[in-house]
Structure 1
Amino acid sequence: MSVIALAFAAVLALSGCVNMNAEVNVLGKDKVAGAMQLTLHKSTLNGVTFEEVLNSQIDVAAMEEQLGDQWSYSKVDDGENVGLRFETTSPMTYVQLADAFSLFGFEINLSDDGKEYTFSMPGDKAAVDSSFTEANLHVTFPGAVTSHSPGTAQHHTVTFDMIQGAASYQATGKVDHTMFYAAVFGGALLVLTFVFVGAFAPKASKEAH
């Protein structure tokens, strides 16, 4: 097991009441980012701080070494819940993100055909038990969601409830060409501006003389 997976196991063993939210954000063709947040209610800590729990149960140095340059992490404290949030340090390729998520025991797959992005993950590779009070996976596409199984869709995001479980998690979303068309239109407008200036500026100069 990875040090990260062991960290999950240690926190679960201590609290038995954990919230997990994983995020996969498709930014463009072969360009993605991810995040993983693991929190627990302060009442489950029985008076000790989360830092004390972390240092007593997890080899933090080994965890940081395994995170390498793939993930950064920060402490989370919203007043009621406390924990860790991991974020990819920079946009990654599909393969790089799949490798990064493997540290958490997730086996994600991403691809595209130029028209749609496709996400999938075997359900048994991210199985959760009654120790979790919340376990969600959020997948966000640049364009509208076109299909998903199971999960619920809102705007460009599909949310899978991993407590309910599934044989597999699948979703597709449209490629968003808005920025491409905006760049093309902007470039064309710039060219026309230069043509217009080039055509009329000499004439205006002559008329001035």
Structure 2
Amino acid sequence: MKRLLSVIALVFTAVLALSGCVNMNAEVNVQGQNKTTGVVEVTLNKENLQGMSLDELLATQVDTEAMEKELDGKWTYSKINEGENVGLRFETDGVKTYTQLKDAFKVFGFEINLADDGQEVTFSMPGDKATVDSSFTEANLLVNFPGEVTSHTPGEVEHHTVTFDMIKGAQVYQATGKFDHSLFYSSIFGGALLVLTLVFVLAFAPKGVKETH
């Protein structure tokens, strides 16, 4: 990925030098109004490590201390070792505001933007800010909304998720989705119903019961 920043790029560069065959999947998760999290996974097949383990790759090719300094306060990371694939998983260090998530994704060269009008939230990212080279076999960006997806360009929609294929590329990646206010409204309705029930019970309770109150 041409625009990855220096320290993080070392992880990709080291892997690409060995195999030229890397999968990258990123996620932007909108949990609510101004509440988000993010994920970036980088994986490859174990066979492409040419006999090295992931730990050996990181120890010999990556300045882990410098990488952790770059990630501090923005991302945590863990190692992936699932079946035939190994790699790294980066997760945001807790829930972020739109601005904080934008700042966090800059570590990977992603110029994401999030904004809402109280009813819907819109994601956008310039395509030229996330250029993927031919060494990547898979590079997807998933945007998960709390409610229904109302528009997107380009991308594919499944339930509340829009998936952008960054290998295909685009001038801009954009998607809009609704907030899910159903829980909020159900809580209000449930509270109102409880109050009405108590009023009804007290109003029609036997006189002796009322006097005890």
TM-score by length of 1: 0.94
- Greater shift, 63-72 or 108-117, is seen at 63-72
Inter-partner Cα distance in structure 1 for 2:15 and 2:210: 80
Inter-partner Cα distance in structure 2 for 1:125 and 1:205: 71
Deviation at 1:130, TM superposition (A): 1.1
TM-score by length of 2: 0.92
Deviation at 1:96, TM superposition (A): 0.2
Q: Return 5+ residue gaps in structure 1 as ranges.
A: none
Kindly indicate whether the alpha-carbon contact (under 8 Å) linking 2:145 and 2:177 is maintained by their aligned counterparts in 1: yes
Name the CA shift for 1:104/1:193 in 2 (closer, same or farther; >3 Å). same
Q: 2:10 aligns with which of 6, 12, 30?
A: 6
Partner letter of residue 169 of structure 2? G
Q: Could you give the per-residue CA deviations for residues 62-106 of structure 1, whole angstroms, max 9, x where no partner exists?
A: 111211122111111111110000111211100000000100111
The residue aligned with 1:150 is 154
Is 2:61 the partner of 1:57?
Answer: yes
Identity %: 68
Partner letter of residue 30 of structure 1? N
Q: Return 5+ residue gaps in structure 2 as ranges.
A: none
Q: 1:92 aligns with which of 91, 96, 104?
A: 96
The residue aligned with 2:40 is 36
Q: 1:189 aligns with which of 172, 186, 193?
A: 193
1:90 aligned counterpart, secondary structure:
coil
Inter-partner Cα distance in structure 1 for 2:20 and 2:72: 28
- Greater shift, 3-12 or 55-64, is seen at 3-12
Kindly indicate whether the alpha-carbon contact (under 8 Å) linking 1:2 and 1:104 is maintained by their aligned counterparts in 2: no
Kindly indicate whether the alpha-carbon contact (under 8 Å) linking 1:5 and 1:105 is maintained by their aligned counterparts in 2: no
Q: Could you give the per-residue CA deviations for residues 46-72 of structure 1, whole angstroms, max 9, x where no partner exists?
A: 111011011111111111121112211
Inter-partner Cα distance in structure 1 for 2:77 and 2:135: 23
Q: 2:107 aligns with which of 97, 103, 106?
A: 103
Kindly indicate whether the alpha-carbon contact (under 8 Å) linking 2:29 and 2:145 is maintained by their aligned counterparts in 1: yes
Inter-partner Cα distance in structure 1 for 2:14 and 2:50: 16
Deviation at 1:201, TM superposition (A): 4.0
**Root-mean-square deviation over aligned CA pairs:** 1.7
Kindly indicate whether the alpha-carbon contact (under 8 Å) linking 2:18 and 2:50 is maintained by their aligned counterparts in 1: no
Deviation at 1:202, TM superposition (A): 5.6
Aligned length: 208
Q: 2:121 aligns with which of 114, 117, 123?
A: 117
Q: 2:84 aligns with which of 54, 75, 80?
A: 80
